[in-house]
Structure 1
Amino acid sequence: MALCGEFHTYPAPGLIIGVSMVEYARELLSIRPGEKIYAVCETPKCLPDALQVILHCTCGNNRLRIVRAGRFAFTVNRASEESMARGFRIFVDQEKLKTWPTLLAWFTHDSCFDKKTMTDRLFEEILTAGQQILSSERVRVPVHKKEWWSTKICESCGQMVPSTFMSGGVCAACADKYYELE
């Protein structure tokens, strides 16, 4: 937990829940230390950091994908030579949250949650609840094999880009420009 908090820069409530979720996933898959695991996280908030620190799934090593679905959930699976891999999807179960009123108010972003007066109780409920607020389901996820690529030059920016990131002669960054030059 301490390493996750340090990596995240503070022990956020979502991060602490994420640690419980990753530990639950480790139990379900019987993950051995150092084993190569793949994950798809359904939120960019807090949860990916627990996956990165504990399971060493990162975007950089291509073992973590983030899908901006807004759900506090992820799937985990082992590598597979098949086109689909068996794994588990772990999620915060809204029915189980009902037992924990402060946690439910925080999690649902209810206006009754007062950060100034309820934070201590929130952390108490998170730590007490642990895995009791979680559910899982067996899933199959598509295995994305490494694609062969060649270098192409983007017609818009003139920079070298792997061919797999090009569409119609333009790189993904130019097609969906996220910045503008000054």
Structure 2
Amino acid sequence: MSKAISKEQIKRIYALGSAIGILKSGDKDDELHCLVYSITKKDSIKSLTEAEFRKVEKALMEKMKIYRDNKAPKPKEKVKDETVAGMMTKAQQTKAWKLIYELIELDSRGSSATAGERMVGAIKKILNIQADVKKPFVWISFEQGSFLIEQLKRYVASAECKVKKVRDNC
């Protein structure tokens, strides 16, 4: 018989469940416990085996990715809605930030550059515009914003391809 999982592994399951909002404290019928039961047919997280823990953890990590993808990135500072006619819209800016955060997740080199620094670098490379980290989109037109987003989509696709190649060769 397989031994039960460690306290750290139990805490990890609860932490992941809490992070994606499926844990209700003190409720054994919350979404987290329902997920565990659907995978393992066990009511108790403490009674999971190592293999069952890995299955539950994988399912929670997949839910975490979906949760992050659906959640808009949080701006560091409150910015007034000052969309200027002919310039990059808030929707375009949000999409560009989302793509930058996807690139950060896919970064295999582990670069220490912040999201803002990456955005400024992408703007410089793609549009040849020197942008400020605090307000990177201030000089970008609607058309340039569309072009920036399309190029960032290509960067994400390329990064996903590289990750897939590395994963398949292991």
Q: TM-score, normalised by structure 1?
A: 0.23
Q: Which has the larger radius of gyration?
A: 2
Q: TM-score, normalised by structure 2?
A: 0.24
Q: Which has the higher helix share?
A: 2
